[in-house]
Amino acid sequence: MIIESYLFGRMKVDGDVFDSDLIIFPEKVKSSWWRTEGHYLQMKDLGEILDYNPEVLVIGTGYFGRMDVADEVIKRLEETGIKYYIEKSSKAVEIFNKIDSKKKVGAFHLTC
């Protein structure tokens, strides 16, 4: 999957437009991704991603980078050997599109 564009609150992926937070898997996009505590990414928010067991996870923390990532998330990704990137969503989009892996996943907060 390719992210064609990203603006505050809006992302276009393989021709489809999304206006809510989303997770991009190689074969599908899960839209309306909600976290337990909106601007705080915790382990319980990553269940489906960890079940997929990606090689690489790109986390977009929002246009202004306001979504925080819990230390426990970083620790778990390191323990499981999942390479990860945590960046403001615009930079995360660039990284996601450059990664050449069939097992990459992107988790994007589209606003703040």
State the pTM of this model.
Answer: 0.96
Question: What is the average per-residue pLDDT within 99-105?
Answer: 94
Rounded Cα–Cα distance for residues 7 and 13 (Å): 12
Rounded distance, CA 78 to CA 63, Å?
A: 25
Domains of the chain with bracketed CATH? 3-108 (3.40.1230.10)
Q: What does residue 74 show for φ and ψ, rounded to 5 degrees?
A: -60, -45
For the stretch 31-44, pLDDT in tens is 999 999 989 999 99
Helix, strand, coil share of the chain (percent; to 5) = 25, 35, 40
Q: Does residue 9 contact residue 111 with C-beta atoms inside 8 Å?
A: yes
